[in-house]
Structure 1
Amino acid sequence: MSTTDLQAYRGSLLHFLADPAFSDNAHAWHEDGLLIVADGKVRAAGDYATLHATLPAGTMVHDYSGKLLMPGFIDTHIHYPQTDIIASPSAGLLPWLETYTFPAERSFEHPEHAAGVAEFFLDELLRCGTTTAMVYCTVHPQSVDAFFTASEARGLRMVAGKVLMDRNCPEFLRDTAESGARDTEALINRWHNHGRSQYAITPRFAPTSTPEQLHLAGELARAYPDTYIQTHVSENEAECAWVRELFPQSRSYIDVYDSYGMLRPRAMYGHCIWLDDADRRRMAETGAAAAICPTSNLFLGSGLFDFERADQAGMLVALATDVGGGTSFSMLQTMNEAYKVARLKGSHLPALRMFYLATLGAARAMQLEGTIGNFAPGAEADFIVVDPQATPLLQRRSRSVASLEEQLFALALLGDDRAIAATYSGGRQVHVRT
């Protein structure tokens, strides 16, 4: 291998090997570390003193001393068509959908509008250090085409899908059970596993899909078992009551999806606030995962996710921004609010756990461990450079940190997009802070 095929990056290295909540040896930390990348993948990660001697003469070493190198953040639930309605006031989830979301999504019938929003959305993710996301498009197939065209131009690993919605929504956003399934299958064949793109079968949420549409979505999930499923569940008490009226035969909201075969690995359920213990056990035994959306849940007054009960049940969990109900693209800001949600529910989220949930934990929830989420040899080289001196306050606080936990906690509570000095995807720099 020639030296031009190798890139090396020096800095403090952090990545995860297990969930810190359940393992005493969950992370690897090299205060003076070296990350070696070849052909867009991780070749090695460890101590600088050890690994530097293995580099061929002339290999360029990018020096990020004083900064942290860690895997790129993974956002497991976000809506790109809601970029322009972030921070829109409303009395709650259902009025917010009617007043802002549905009118905004109408414009995505125009491919040029969808393309423009996709470009801005992806730039914003990369500016915040997010290299992979599970993304909701609109009911329009062209919104999916626009998104994947933009993400593939940047070489990103992204999961996305066309929303399925055939009732309880404006006519201008309504498909049918048959047309939604037909469009979804065509998009799967066009985009799933094309480059680094992967497809998600995407019923918006149970109230906006008829039983016929959910049945066909479940059939697609069985026909294409390596696709993803993404939808919402148990976000808001009024929404849960609505689901009980629409699906009286189901034991619970999550049971609606279960009855159509949509609880399985690679199924990501946004929110999961108002689950009961039977729901949590069922998610754990099927391998379905929860995307925790603290900024959105606080903004819309939906409720507080119960980390302790989720852990007791063995559920797969990850963090998510849920823009535009969520109020920031930044996973650091999302950690900030997740910490407070946990405290209000009587539990404590250490910083190491929060960073795990935004990296390897999310990769595990997506069944992508070994592909993204840490610096295991052969993993795709998606990583970020985090600057603990990014703002005057962070700089001052970082002078007195006494441990890695304290440094990460300061970044989670005080950091935002300004703390991301650079973002790399597949070994290629796709953002640098100016």
Structure 2
Amino acid sequence: MARFTFNLPDIGEGIAEAEIVDWHVKVGDTVDEDDRLADMMTDKATVEMESPVAGKVVEIAGEVGDTIAIGAMLVVIETEGAAAEADAAPAPKAEEVEERIEVETSDASDADDAVAAEKPSPHQGKGRSALSMSKGAEGVGDVSDVPQTPTLSPEGEREKKVLASPAVRARARDLGVDLAEVKPAEDGRIRHADLDAFLSYNAGSGFSPAGRTRADEEIKVIGLRKRIAQNMAESKRNIPHFSYVEECDVTELERLRADLNANRGNKPKLTMLPLLIAAICRTLPDFPMINARYDDEAGVVTRHGAVHLGMATQTDRGLMVPVIRDAQAKNLWQLAREIGRLAEAARDGSAKSEELSGSTLTLTSLGPLGGVATTPVINRPEVAIIGPNRIIERPMFVPDGMGGDRIEKRKLMNVSISCDHRVVDGYDAASFVQALKKLLETPVLLLAD
């Protein structure tokens, strides 16, 4: 028997280390050549590490969440060959592992626990790309490969039809919750957050699952969630934020949107976002300090001419920011198509790395959950982030055309902006939002050349 040491290979230019986000083996496991060993996450990607040899795993480098240097031991495998113990697996070059790169990390509690019998993953083949940033990463495999299951009782049959990971099913059973009564996410799969929402909603109605309270949980922060935590902490630690909020009357903007949608033909349906982005792009040329990036180490502010707009997108595994390139050069329909395409790519895992970087300004929207006002955290090294809030209807005094006022129901939306006070003065931020407000309240200007 011989011991084969597999070192962490060079998985990208300039990458010095990677984080262990998932182990697919443990000490004592037997692996075949090309079996998945671990998923390693760098600043830009998650890479599947596959075994170059067959044998028995006798040592692994660390636990999920640990950071391993490039070239350091990842796994030691006991093989049948005659290789010396000191022989280590040569580190393949970045291009040799390119097809195993994921755009972003997968969540170990949901994606890796997905029910294979319900939705077999298309990424189980050897040496294939496994894009898995968000929901939709699972696929339907060849039904001939799915083993036949025994006949279930009516209760078991109903539970089987519910899409949920084994971890969620086990937790629901422990709590005495029927998963059929829990409202799932948009993709139809029930996750821990959906179970939490069910328990919270029923907390005041006397619902007590199996006579127990929810047990404490310790969840290790790893992968994308860890990256988000680090980025947000760095942003708040290094950037002196200030926020400004203004109320905008978007009644006429909503009428314009309805008219455009009524005559759109085969064009995509317009939401508020394309109109808001168009207004932002028309306003920015007079306020170049908003569309900028600040390299605080070099002490250089770069004011960008083109608007590469980051679009904060919530996915099952965390917040992604796909980028609309040259947003200022796109019309409303092109913006609508790009918004839909990038949002779907972020959620189904098909977004490319270049579509997730290089933004000059970020827009974050919670849609109907937008609240009255928000104070979003800046996407460093940008210097500003804009957040539209929920549209509400309220009575307002409006001119009656005869020198007086009348009360009318109007649609109102607050627009928030957070800025880096090292680069953007409060007066500039307020002036920018007031100019943006004028466009939103007089939307015919958006259609003018």
TM range, normalised to the smaller chain?
Answer: under 0.3
TM-score normalised by the chain length of structure 2 = 0.26
The structure whose RCO (Cα within 8 Å, separation 6+) is larger is 1
TM-score by length of 1: 0.26
